[in-house]
Amino acid sequence: MHILTEADRRRSFAVISHPDAGKSTLTEALALHARVISEAGAVHGKSGRHGVVSDWMEMERARGISITSAALQFSYRDAVINLLDTPGHADFSEDTYRVLSAVDSAVMLLDAAKGLEPQTLKLFDVCRHRGIPVLTFVNKWDRPGREALELCDELVERIGLQPMPLTWPVGAAGHFQGVLDVADGSFVRYARTSGGAKAAPEERLDAARAEAEVGADWTTAREERELLAASGGEFDADRFRDATATPVLFGAAVLNFGVRHLLDLLVDLAPRPTPRVDADGVPRPLDADFSAFVFKVQTGMDPAHRDQVAFARVCSGMFERGMVVTNATTKRPFATKYVQQVFGQKRSTVDTAFPGDVIGLVNASALRVGDTLYAGKPPVRFPGLPQFAPAHFAVARPVDLSKSKQFRKGVDQLSAEGVVQLLRSDLRGDAAPVFAAVGPMQFEVAAHRMEHEFSAPVRLDRLPYSAVRKLADPAQRGLVDSGRRSEVVSRVDGTELALFEDEMAMRILLRQHPELELEPLLAEG
């Protein structure tokens, strides 16, 4: 019963959006309202302020974008929040997809001026596929933007999701005065703080006073809200949980406007952990023996120690530090002596954890993305995480041949983390592995980390391939390698991939050799 009670307190969610919609800013604002940080960071590089707590990597701070996911855990009211910030750039969508496998709901962040953007649409499709309930937060209402009704119509027209506003903006975008709280019909007026560094003070006015003091903006807000309610926008918790409708809130994360509403909503309405289905299709009860799956591996979070942290979502049972668990992939025991809760780059030792929690297993060089950990019998294994078809390829070579040991270590580590996919080419041998990526910025991250974390600078020579297929019959390898615009490479799991300069080159080879068997390279789990 203790395990079920603790699981009921957990809220695990991810923040998803298009780049520059304000994900990291919102993440930090949520932490600020939960009083786990005292001042917001330098989201816009203000002098004397620290960078956002979730963007811990040097490249992220320099570029002002998130390029890796980050886990934050903190308490708010009587709940334990596991908040996963995700990279917004499309080149790192594979990392985001892994994070979405570890959460129970998602906050979809929309820019008030741009609405639904391409990367947001892609990530929402993943949420829909996984049945993940989505809350929508319309951000940047302090800046000029589109009309609130127009943004809500877009949710219906483009993704078939019924908006159910729980707050409604008072004042057009760029003239944000506060929100109409749909629950009680009151007006919540915000006051600015210096640079948005502190939680914004709020003043609550009843409808009569709001009409007297705000006038036309208040009247407009009430009329728009009533119009949407009449078209099916009344809140329905069941429709939210079955992912056919989305609660909508309006705010400005950089000013901390509307953030408390979102945090309270997550505690009150976001799904609790539920039994997770194992690889055999059987739901594992929350109070069964401990089990978890690794959805992310990261090195270099602590530059002083260069240790490796494996992030795992607890699926069942009670985790206790020091327990010895089994890795379902290798069948080998794994001792959990060093386990930490994570808050950005800061970490603290954790002694216990429950379903819904994300724990950081330190010195976890034996763990890889997709591994299942379990205690007791019988063994359990959860479905593996997807690996996506790469679209960019480059040969990696060490700049300094005397650093070959560091080079090999760095390459293996980046592969284990999923920063890039590692391929082997017979044409080049083990000394010149091929990096494969969904997006080219992954190469920049890989090169930066090879130089600064492993002291092994690399030269990346791009390969001219843009089409990839799975080679169904390894005996046909020679047919592909004989082509002038194609070659075969091997993935670390033994899968052989046929790379082609473009789709035309592939079709030409298939006409020359109709017996050649190629299969689409789909996301595999």
**pLDDT reported for residue 249:** 97
Helix (H, G, I), strand (E, B), or coil: what is residue 60?
A: helix
Helix (H, G, I), strand (E, B), or coil: what is residue 187?
A: strand
Rounded (10°) CA dihedral 116, 295, 272, 321: -150
- Residue with more model confidence, 374 or 340: 374
Parallel/antiparallel/unpaired status of strands 339-343 and 392-398: unpaired
**Token duo for residue 86:** 């995700």
Residue pLDDT, tens place only, 332-341? 999 998 887 7
- Residue with more model confidence, 292 or 59: 292
**pLDDT reported for residue 352:** 93
Query: pLDDT band at 342, cuts 50/70/90?
Result: low
- Give the whole-number percent of the chain exceeding pLDDT 70: 87
Same domain, 352 and 469: no
Confidence check: pLDDT of 467 > 50? yes
Residue pLDDT, tens place only, 216-249? 999 999 999 999 888 888 999 999 999 999 999 9
Same domain, 319 and 183: no
Query: pLDDT band at 48, cuts 50/70/90?
Result: very low
**pLDDT reported for residue 42:** 34
Q: State residue 254 phi and psi, 5-degree precision.
A: -65, -25
Whether the Cβ atoms of residue 174 and residue 142 lie closer than 8 Å to each other: yes
Residue 451's CATH number: 3.30.70.3280
Of the candidates 373, 284, 377, the residue with the CA atom closest to the CA atom of residue 325: 373
**Which of 374, 407, 437 lies at the terminal end of a domain, its last residue?**
374
**pLDDT reported for residue 415:** 86
- Residue with more model confidence, 59 or 477: 477
Domain for residue 344, yes or no?
yes
**pLDDT reported for residue 517:** 93
Whether the Cβ atoms of residue 501 and residue 493 lie closer than 8 Å to each other: no
C-alpha–C-alpha distance, residues 324 and 128, integer Å: 36
**pLDDT reported for residue 3:** 96
Into how many domains does the chain fold?
3
**pLDDT reported for residue 514:** 93
Helix (H, G, I), strand (E, B), or coil: what is residue 438?
A: coil
What value does the mean pLDDT take over residues 65-83?
76
> Which residues are annotated binding-site positions for GTP?
85-89
Range of the domain at 506: 392-520
Residue 325's CATH number: 2.40.30.10
- Residue with more model confidence, 91 or 212: 212
What value does the mean pLDDT take over residues 41-69?
45
> What rounded mean pLDDT belongs to the chain?
86
**pLDDT reported for residue 49:** 41
Confidence check: pLDDT of 484 > 90? no
Same domain, 362 and 422: no
Residue pLDDT, tens place only, 400-431? 989 999 999 999 888 887 788 899 988 888 88
Confidence check: pLDDT of 360 > 70? yes
**pLDDT reported for residue 493:** 80
Query: pLDDT band at 283, cuts 50/70/90?
Result: very high
What value does the mean pLDDT take over residues 388-397?
90
Same domain, 402 and 360: no
Q: How far does the chain reach from its first CA to its final CA, in angstroms?
A: 33
Query: pLDDT band at 37, cuts 50/70/90?
Result: low
What value does the mean pLDDT take over residues 463-470?
93
C-alpha–C-alpha distance, residues 11 and 78, integer Å: 11
Of the candidates 402, 407, 465, 457, the residue with the CA atom closest to the CA atom of residue 432: 407
Same domain, 59 and 39: yes
What value does the mean pLDDT take over residues 505-515?
93
**pLDDT reported for residue 52:** 47
**pLDDT reported for residue 236:** 93
Query: pLDDT band at 384, cuts 50/70/90?
Result: confident
**Which of 324, 344, 374 lies at the terminal end of a domain, its last residue?**
374
In terms of C-beta density within 10 A (0-12 exposed, 13-18 middle, 19 or more buried), how is residue 69 classed? buried
**Which of 253, 269, 285 lies at the terminal end of a domain, its last residue?**
269
- Residue with more model confidence, 254 or 129: 254
Same domain, 256 and 286: no
**pLDDT reported for residue 43:** 36
Domain for residue 384, yes or no?
no
Domain for residue 138, yes or no?
yes
Residue pLDDT, tens place only, 145-166? 999 999 999 999 999 999 999 9
Domain for residue 310, yes or no?
yes
Same domain, 237 and 310: no
Cis before 386? omega within 30? no
**pLDDT reported for residue 97:** 79
What value does the mean pLDDT take over residues 25-48?
61
Domain for residue 382, yes or no?
no
Residue 40's CATH number: 3.40.50.300
Domain for residue 380, yes or no?
no
**pLDDT reported for residue 365:** 80
Domain for residue 182, yes or no?
yes
**Amino acid at site 424:** R
Same domain, 280 and 258: no
**pLDDT reported for residue 44:** 35
Confidence check: pLDDT of 56 > 90? no
- Give the whole-number percent of the chain exceeding pLDDT 90: 57
Parallel/antiparallel/unpaired status of strands 392-398 and 458-462: antiparallel
Which residues make Cβ contacts (< 8 Å) with residue 331, sequence separation at least 6?
none
Same domain, 444 and 499: yes
**pLDDT reported for residue 483:** 76
Same domain, 173 and 285: no
Cα 471–Cα 476–Cα 482 angle in degrees, nearest 5: 105
Rounded to whole angstroms, what are the CA distances from 407 to 266, 403, 428, 463, 491?
44, 6, 16, 20, 19
Residue pLDDT, tens place only, 92-115? 667 777 888 899 999 999 999 999
Domain for residue 4, yes or no?
no
Same domain, 418 and 319: no
> Which residues are annotated binding-site positions?
85-89
Name the pTM for this structure.
Answer: 0.80
Same domain, 246 and 192: yes
Residue pLDDT, tens place only, 187-226? 999 888 776 667 778 899 999 999 999 999 999 999 999 9
Rounded (10°) CA dihedral 242, 248, 249, 252: 110
C-alpha–C-alpha distance, residues 447 and 69, integer Å: 19
**pLDDT reported for residue 55:** 43
What value does the mean pLDDT take over residues 267-278?
95
Confidence check: pLDDT of 129 > 50? yes
